[in-house]
Amino acid sequence: MKYYIITGIIVLLCPLLVAGQDSLHLNKEQSAITTFAEEYQKEYLKRIQKSHINGFYIPKDLPDALRILDEIVDDDGKRKFRSREDSVAVNKVFFSFGRWINLNWGMELGSRLTVALNKLGVSYPDDMTRMIMYAWHRHLNNEPLALESLADRVIQERIVRAEKVKNLARDKP
């Protein structure tokens, strides 16, 4: 009889014990997420103050980025980039030179350059990279940078590209 009573009590208490464990586990997960977000924010705030990240100089703003590109790209590369229509030039090197800009100038994780580009209204990493490349193309061709309209252009191009991808996924022409 004692055996049945003890078994009955255990059966009745098990759901409470399990529920308590789930609650405890959930609180640990929430705590880990909060901690990760806090750590990410701390690291971001450090990164946006740095002049160098992973050994690479981080331009302080768009004019500084254009100056650095003028220094690091050879004359033949400048000539080829300058001679093409801007969208062709940017798209041709986006997945090579554009990736270099994205990775080494901190477009994904933040840098002082991304803060400057955010102030111009550009927040997506690929948009930031395209903004720099379009601005450099204009700079090489002695055209006005017209940053506000350029920011609008890169944002609009991203929206159009996303819509095309969405339509392809639906098998629409």
Same domain? For 54 and 41 the reply is no
Same domain? For 156 and 81 the reply is yes
Q: What is the pTM of this model?
A: 0.77
CA–CA dist 84, 101 (Å, integer): 20
pLDDT at residue 8, as a whole number: 54
Same domain? For 115 and 149 the reply is yes
> Where residue 5 falls among pLDDT bands split at 50, 70, 90?
low
What is each CA distance from 46 to 85, 150, 161, 172, in whole angstroms?
38, 29, 33, 45
| C-alpha of 161 from chain center | 17
Same domain? For 130 and 93 the reply is yes
Same domain? For 55 and 26 the reply is no
Same domain? For 54 and 133 the reply is yes
Q: For tokens 């997960």, what's the residue?
A: 29
CB 115 within 8 A of CB 48: yes
- Domain of 68 in residue numbering reads as 49-169
Residue predicted with more confidence, 149 or 16: 149
Instruction: Indicate the residue among 47, 63, 85 that finishes a domain.
Output: 47
**Residue pLDDT, tens place only, 16-48:** 444 444 444 556 666 666 788 899 899 999 999
Same domain? For 78 and 146 the reply is yes
**Residue pLDDT, tens place only, 109-140:** 999 999 999 999 999 999 999 999 999 999 99
Which residues is 47 bridged to in the sheet?
none
Same domain? For 27 and 64 the reply is no
Same domain? For 42 and 102 the reply is no
Same domain? For 81 and 103 the reply is yes
> Where residue 99 falls among pLDDT bands split at 50, 70, 90?
very high
- What is the count of structural domains for the chain? 2
Mean pLDDT taken over the chain: 87
Same domain? For 7 and 67 the reply is no
